[in-house]
Amino acid sequence: MHHITLDNETDFDGWRKAARALALNDVKPSDVSWRVADDAPELFEPTAPPLEPPPGTFNVPAKFVELAEAAILHRNPERFALLYRLLWRLRQNHDLLDIATDPDVAEVAAMAKAVRRDEHKMHAFVRFREVGREQNSHFVAWFEPEHHIVELAAPFFARRFADMPWSILTPDVCAHWDGHAVSITPGVSKSEAPTTDRLEETWRRYYASIFNPARLKVTAMQNEMPKKYWRNLPEASLIKPLIESAERTASAMIANAAIEPHKSQKRLEPAKVQDMARNHDDDDLETLREEAAGCRACPLWKDATQTVFGEGPQTARIILVGEQPGDKEDLAGKPFVGPAGQMLDRALEEAGIDRSTVYVTNAVKHFKFVPRGKIRLHQKPNTPEIKACRQWYERELAAIKPDLVVAMGATAAQSVFGKITPINKNRGRLIDLDDGTRALVTVHPSYLLRLPDADAKAREYQRFVQDLKIAADVLRKSAHAA
């Protein structure tokens, strides 16, 4: 039996070196046991001398290294053995990773996915609390990750909060940033983390302002912000009262509803029936959202807080596409909740479109910005970023199969048409797309916000509403036809 002791829970280099030596010496997975240095040693183990790799090499697919680097951070104590078994089998079958149903492949892929999801949750749910004031202030957060992801997630916080010294304390290890480098120290207990400060109230006010009772979906919300994170979030104390008050509002609306159903409810029924008949091989939006949370197809994920996926019912007949999430959307994890979103809400209402019945998304799903002091300045996404993100738009489109896609602005138009598409030349008319869907091009609501001249702003806003009325007309016709 070969007993391998790794330096720590995240010792990928140690695992790789040992696995290579074992494989080159033809040591079967069943003849190896793995543990971490600070685990209690088992008594009276028969040991074999440490192995040196004999001369020779072997190659594994790059995808295996990528998967193993993530999966090794999983808390499952069997992960080292499982990865060695997969490596051993890959030597016999180089294409093994393509067999998604193979139990070892599936388990490693699920572990890597869980780790990436945990990293994403850490990016989204770490809340720093200020300790000390002015020159001496230091920002400290308490977090309980599910897996061993602190070292993986720390560079994100170093980039994002480059100009403030911070520490993230966890029971496993702690990460610290002094403005120059990240350092890692042993874990601590929760009692060592501060609990309140003057930033708390700001977070609570921000959360209350972005909470939209009309779009409340408790299950989806709890999936995105699982309860176990609530206890460390300043805004958590607001969640229960906000949900209760949204439910009270909804019950009052139902109780007061006229005997005749509302127009929009009537319109929705055929779409629901159509949805039941749909091909369920298609992606489900919640699954897509989960997958997109770990997207690394372009570098924008590195500085953004989270992927901002589209939002709205799978039965929507219209998809509205914007450019990319802004500062507010990046923090909230929802599209069009900031100033451009408010402008869009107003215009939709004037055009006679109920936002809760349409699907709202962006061509690019991570916020691109440059830091300018305390502000994050929006940057237009470039063509490689738009192309890298298009897969998500295509899959949203395939999942929803709308009658109409509304491209708002040049970036959206480039994604929807798959090529640069001038706005003014194509604006305000229905254009057939190859897949039978129709598209409508219009301006982006941020363009209206930026117009300095009040008259031009009012005029352009009216044109925007007129464009959306074309979409409202399509919506009415598709409801009649269904």
Is residue 329 a contact point for ligand URA (CB under 6 A)?
yes
Q: Among the candidate windows 147-155, 291-299, 316-324, 348-356, which touches ligand URA by CB under 6 A?
A: 316-324
Q: Minimum distance between the CB of residue 41 and ligand URA, rounded to whole angstroms?
A: 54
Q: Minimum distance between the CB of residue 415 and ligand URA, rounded to whole angstroms?
A: 11
Of the candidate residues 96, 340, 404, 413, the single one contacting ligand URA (CB under 6 A): 340
> Of the two residues 330 and 403, which places its CB atom closer to ligand URA in the complex?
330
> Of the two residues 167 and 446, which places its CB atom closer to ligand URA in the complex?
446
> Of the two residues 166 and 461, which places its CB atom closer to ligand URA in the complex?
461
> Residue 13, Cα to own-chain centre: how many angstroms?
29
Of the candidate residues 446, 448, 465, 468, the single one contacting ligand URA (CB under 6 A): 446
Q: Minimum distance between the CB of residue 321 and ligand URA, rounded to whole angstroms?
A: 8
Number of amino acids touching ligand URA (CB under 6 A): 13
Distance CA 345, CA 348 (A): 5
> Of the two residues 443 and 474, which places its CB atom closer to ligand URA in the complex?
443
Is residue 381 a contact point for ligand URA (CB under 6 A)?
no
Q: Minimum distance between the CB of residue 470 and ligand URA, rounded to whole angstroms?
A: 20
Is residue 414 a contact point for ligand URA (CB under 6 A)?
no
> Of the two residues 335 and 402, which places its CB atom closer to ligand URA in the complex?
335
Q: Minimum distance between the CB of residue 441 and ligand URA, rounded to whole angstroms?
A: 14
Is residue 442 a contact point for ligand URA (CB under 6 A)?
no
Q: Among the candidate windows 100-108, 223-231, 324-332, 396-404, which touches ligand URA by CB under 6 A?
A: 324-332
Of the candidate residues 234, 312, 326, 402, the single one contacting ligand URA (CB under 6 A): 326
Is residue 323 a contact point for ligand URA (CB under 6 A)?
yes
The structure tokens listed for 184 are 């890692």
Is residue 336 a contact point for ligand URA (CB under 6 A)?
yes
Distance CA 178, CA 298 (A): 28
> Of the two residues 312 and 326, which places its CB atom closer to ligand URA in the complex?
326
Answer yes or no: are the C-beta atoms of 144 and 230 closer than 8 Å. Answer: no
Distance CA 291, CA 450 (A): 34
Which residues make up the interface to ligand URA (CB under 6 A)?
322-326, 329, 335-336, 338, 340-341, 362, 446
